[in-house]
Amino acid sequence: MNNKTLNLLLSLIFFLLISCSSDHSTNDNRIVIGISSDVQSFNSLFAFSYEETVIADLLYPGLSDFQWNADRGELETHPMIAKSWQWSVDSSSIKFILRDDVKWSDGKKLTSEDIVFSYDIYSDPNVQSRFMGTFDQFFLEEDGHIDVQKSFKIISEYELEFLFPLGSTPDLFEIVVPIIPKHIFENIGRDEIGTHESSFNPVSCGAFKLKDWERNQTIKLEADSNSFLFQQGQISELVFKIIPDYTSRILQLKKGDIDLAEQIKVEDIPGLSVLENLSVKNIVGREYDYIGWNNIDVNKFEKGMLKPNKLFGSRNIRKALSMAVNRKEILDEYLLGQGMLAATPVSPIFKSSFNADVKPYDYNPEEAKRLLAAEGWKDGNKNGILEKGNTEFKFTLYYPVGNPLREYAAVIIKNNLKAVGIELTTEKMELGAFIDNLYEKKLDAWIAGFGVPIPLDLKPYWYSDPNTGFLNFSSYNNDEVDNILDQLETDITDEIKNEKFKKFQEIIHYDEPVTFLYWTPNIIVYNKKITNLKITPYGVLVHCWEWKIN
């Protein structure tokens, strides 16, 4: 899983809350952050959940820093542990110059040895880290472990070079990982690190270090005055409080016991926005919902054959279905207009890559009926359901339990499709079974969502080869799209790359492999006492050590 894939899995949600009010009142330079569930480890190797990733990234910075440039709609790189770097002319190597003032929280200095060790251990199959399998740009051994001798050249304590095989096209977004301390982990069996005490009592080098962890209650990080990121006047303590119940979080926000929370429901905005101490921020553009249409016949696929789906195999049928669904009604009625209609899987936040000429299909049931009729679907027996030969246009639409928006949308979709002569039944499915069925391609139609990775990476979702397009649940197959996705991984200029992205959107819109519904909002509420807060699509806690308290 690489940074980008992590981000997609990362489509996962967290909440920030304050510690108990009596504790809160004792420290005016503290921000209490709430999360919906506890972490399993502080070790960056095993930070699989969103909550773990957020905290681990605060404890373990990487060689470079990434910040969201809202004007260009893309990430930009800045120095972090490395104060500078230089690519070779042919991008076959990169030389890093490290800061000489980066110390681990136990006082030891971070050196080039820590850098090499981190890549060694992240790629070790015995460790099964979160980045395992994402080091294709390096020299690899047969099991995917980075060949350390071929891939790194230590020049001095604070200078080293990364070497890449001929033909690779590495960039910083792909190769930068959080750095972990060699002196802590080098003598621990690699298959034992996950359960070793060092994974729960981290020796870190970020702006904060672990102060206290009360399982399923609070995680307290305190400012590390020895960190190279430490700034005078920064908040002294971050408290992550675990409160799984959404209603409890809202109540604590209103009471002032919680300083910041994400994924607030739109219906709670009016009650929160009227409170003088709170600010409401809505970020649209990282997650979208869609109706999945399996482009292949699921029964034939089970028998090892690839045949078009008898209902959804035609792009014109899929377009008709998109035109038949009143997506704006769902947006206005359930999301109170807080989201944005989607036309493709490329979000408008990616300003340089986004194709503004590609518009969402309008709600147009009459045009949907015309397209369906043109494809041979007609209600010959006048029973209200279209048929083609001996096949009636009826199917089951699945969606996972526990998502009220998708449950609401399923009702609207059912009514909309009935109006054009299509009968569907809706069925909830337990999340684990739902995901398993998607991977096994057992579903004809479903409602689900994806989180868009930053930097933008489309290949896992739309590439026809299932080994590469492992999230291409619809089995979409277009050679031109495959070719574009391949070219995006080659050494082409940003200008050409953006044109490729725009062409991709045109093709996807033409093929309409799924019905893109809407970009769902991530509503964040925070206490106005927090200043210098930069909420971007890349994250809320990014650079939180720069926060101040007014």
Confidence (pLDDT) at 49? 82
223-249: per-residue pLDDT in tens?
999 999 998 888 999 999 998 999 999
Q: Which two tokens stand for residue 107?
A: 């006082």
Q: What is the pTM of this model?
A: 0.83
* Residues 6 or more apart whose Cβ sits within 8 Å of residue 315: 510, 511, 512
Q: pLDDT band at 12, cuts 50/70/90?
A: very low
Confidence (pLDDT) at 35? 84
Cα gap 267→280, rounded to integer Å:
13
Percent of the chain with pLDDT over 90: 79
Percent of the chain with pLDDT over 70: 95
Q: pLDDT band at 8, cuts 50/70/90?
A: very low
* Lowest model confidence (mean pLDDT) among 5-14, 85-94, 499-508: 5-14
Confidence (pLDDT) at 13? 31
411 pLDDT higher than 90: yes
417 pLDDT higher than 70: yes
Confidence (pLDDT) at 103? 97
Cα gap 503→346, rounded to integer Å:
11
Q: pLDDT band at 16, cuts 50/70/90?
A: very low
444-467: per-residue pLDDT in tens?
999 999 988 888 999 999 999 998
CA angle 498, 345, 520 (to 5 degrees): 125
CA atoms within 13 A on the CB side of 476: 29
For residue 51, give the H/E element and its range: helix 50-59
* Closest of 92, 63, 56, 57 to residue 77, by C-alpha: 63
6 pLDDT higher than 50: no
State phi, psi for 515 to the nearest 5 degrees: -95, 110
Describe the crossing of helices 494-511 and 479-487 by its angle, rounded to 10 degrees.
Answer: 160
Q: Label residue 78 left, alpha or beta by phi (over 0 means left) and psi (-120 to 50 means alpha).
A: beta
Q: pLDDT band at 524, cuts 50/70/90?
A: very high
Other CB atoms within a 10 A radius of the CB of residue 313 amount to 15
351-394: per-residue pLDDT in tens?
999 999 999 999 999 999 999 999 999 999 999 999 999 999 99
177-194: per-residue pLDDT in tens?
999 999 999 999 999 999
Residue 270 CB burial class (10 angstroms; 0-12, 13-18, ≥19): exposed
514 pLDDT higher than 90: yes
39-69: per-residue pLDDT in tens?
999 999 998 888 889 999 999 999 999 999 9
